[in-house]
Chain A
Amino acid sequence: MTIEDRDMDDQDVTLLLREAAGGIEPGAAPYAAVVRGGKRRRARRWAAGAVTVLALTGVAGTFGAGALMDRPEPVAAETAPSPERRHVYTPWVTPLATVRDGANASELRLSVEVWGAPRNAAEIREQKARMVRHGVWRDRESDPVRPGDVWFSVVATRVGDGRRTVVVSGLEQAGGERPGYVAYDLPGDLVSGRVVVGHVSPDVRRITYQWRDGSSDPGLIQVAGLKDRWFALRADAGRRLRAITTVDAAGESKTWPAS
């Protein structure tokens, strides 16, 4: 049998794969980054099938009339050529809500910070330096860093000492199949009870949380720099969620049952 017409047997395939796999030096496991990313994923609670998120936020109520305040309409996103005007180096900041926590006599301001998309390697480098200074790079670095990516974070700022906590962060999802809404559960160590923030696709005009004893329609907020519209809800252990419904601009509704 010549080299040219020799056939490979199973053992040969195994040897070839072993050879190819030997071409990489795996390096040390990035354990800390894995855990950090895992915690962030846990916080995100993507709602693709709704069930997971609904189970998570499943006992909720709306904010009281005075609990969610200060919701100014943000300015529309700019599309200017310079990186400064595209907010590549400083984020757009859109207030979402102020949560007054009577139990802890504290006040927490929730806002969405959006970093514009860098267009090249130089802008990526400078954006990283600015994010490091801004104190968000540790949350940013585990997501891919590529030209064209818009990165956002939901920041909770404690009124009084100004302590900032990034509670949720991620890349804006562009195009493709997307769930009608996404909801995140804020960590319980920040507020008593539960606070949910979420966003709906741009075509959605209304979102309704249907409880067993009523319903709530959180207002939608256009966050500067993002296409999606955002909302906030305060969770309460006394209510059971039945379903979430979204209604788009054409009046079409979609419902995700809680179970």
Chain B
Amino acid sequence: MGDRKQALDEEFHGFVMSRWPRLMRTAFLLTGERHAAEDLVQSSLERAYVSWRRVSAAGDPDAYVRRILINAHARRHRRKLKEYLRARDEVQEWDEPERDDRMAQAEDRSMLLRALARLPARQREAVVLRYWEDLTETQAAEAMGCSVGAVKSNTAKGIAKLRAIPGLAAMVTSGGRR
């Protein structure tokens, strides 16, 4: 019994240490803010810890934690929808940045994050899961707790909105990122 618990603890430790960077980046894309990302990932892992025995037995802890993380993000977004939209509207700036130094790169990132932040939460989640996490539509649907059709629809709408921002399209072809 004690050995089993120790094995689970070690397994959880390994999971946290190895997945933390990736989860942080996913959460960062979802929230656009470092502290919010840390909070989201940490609380998701805490929930995973509570059920780790079951999670471990099910055999796909990544999918489980991803689902927790997306659910938590959706819940928080619903709760703060008004403030969130107001805050984002205030920082709407689509001027094309200078792009020949580090500052320009930081501005690019800032612009990308603002572009993501302007997407409705479900569209943002779909885009991040499909294009950053590289999940299939079925896997994304599982993480978001919705149908494959909803994933397709949210992804298409999100991408269409990103494409409609001229500065973003231009960024892809400059700054040596292709």
How many residue pairs link A and B with beta carbons under 8 A? The number is 114
Q: Find residues 1-44 in chain A having any chain B CB closer than 8 Å to their own CB.
A: 3-4, 6-8, 10, 12-24, 26-31, 33-35, 37-42
The answer to whether B170 touches A6, judged by C-beta atoms less than 8 angstroms apart, is yes
Chain B: residues with Cβ within 8 Å of the partner, total of 48
CB distance from A145 to the nearest CB of B (A): 11
Check: A102 CB closer than 8 A to any chain B CB.
no
A125 to B170: give the CA distance in the assembly, Å: 46
CB distance from A89 to the nearest CB of B (A): 25
Task: Return chain B residues, CB-CB under 8 Å to A13.
Answer: 127, 131, 159, 162
The answer to whether B131 touches A8, judged by C-beta atoms less than 8 angstroms apart, is no
Known: A8-B172, A17-B29. A24 touches B37 (CB 8 A): yes
Give residues in B with beta carbon < 8 Å to A: 12-13, 16-17, 20-21, 24-26, 28-29, 34, 37, 39, 42-43, 45-50, 79, 106, 108-110, 112-113, 116, 127-128, 131-132, 134, 159, 162-163, 166, 168-174, 177-178
A170 to B127: give the CA distance in the assembly, Å: 34
Check: A144 CB closer than 8 A to any chain B CB.
yes
CB distance from B71 to the nearest CB of A (A): 13
Task: Return chain B residues, CB-CB under 8 Å to A4.
Answer: 166, 169-170
Residue of B nearest to A31 (CB): B16
Contact of A24 among B17, B34, B79, B174 (CB under 8 A): B34
Q: Find residues 37-65 in chain A having any chain B CB closer than 8 Å to their own CB.
A: 37-42
Task: Return chain B residues, CB-CB under 8 Å to A144.
Answer: 39
The answer to whether B42 touches A34, judged by C-beta atoms less than 8 angstroms apart, is yes
In terms of DSSP, what is the predominant structure of the interface of chain B?
Answer: helix
Contact of A6 among B13, B127, B162, B169 (CB under 8 A): B169
Contact of A20 among B17, B39, B113, B169 (CB under 8 A): B113
Task: Return chain B residues, CB-CB under 8 Å to A30.
Answer: 42
Known: A13-B127, A37-B42. A23 touches B178 (CB 8 A): no
The answer to whether B109 touches A29, judged by C-beta atoms less than 8 angstroms apart, is no
The answer to whether B50 touches A41, judged by C-beta atoms less than 8 angstroms apart, is yes
A26 to B50: give the CA distance in the assembly, Å: 23
Task: Return chain A residues, CB-CB under 8 Å to B166.
Answer: 4
Contact of B172 among A16, A23, A27, A41 (CB under 8 A): A16
The answer to whether A14 touches B131, judged by C-beta atoms less than 8 angstroms apart, is yes
Task: Return chain B residues, CB-CB under 8 Å to A14.
Answer: 131-132, 134
Task: Return chain A residues, CB-CB under 8 Å to B109.
Answer: 19-20, 22-23
CB distance from A123 to the nearest CB of B (A): 20
Q: Find residues 180-196 in chain A having any chain B CB closer than 8 Å to their own CB.
A: none
CB distance from B113 to the nearest CB of A (A): 6
Contact of B25 among A10, A21, A38, A39 (CB under 8 A): A21
A16 to B29: give the CA distance in the assembly, Å: 11
24 contacting pairs across A/B (C-beta < 8 A): A3-B174, A4-B166, A6-B173, A8-B159, A8-B162, A10-B131, A12-B169, A14-B132, A16-B162, A19-B177, A20-B28, A20-B29, A20-B109, A20-B112, A21-B132, A23-B113, A26-B20, A31-B13, A31-B17, A37-B46, A37-B49, A38-B45, A41-B49, A42-B49
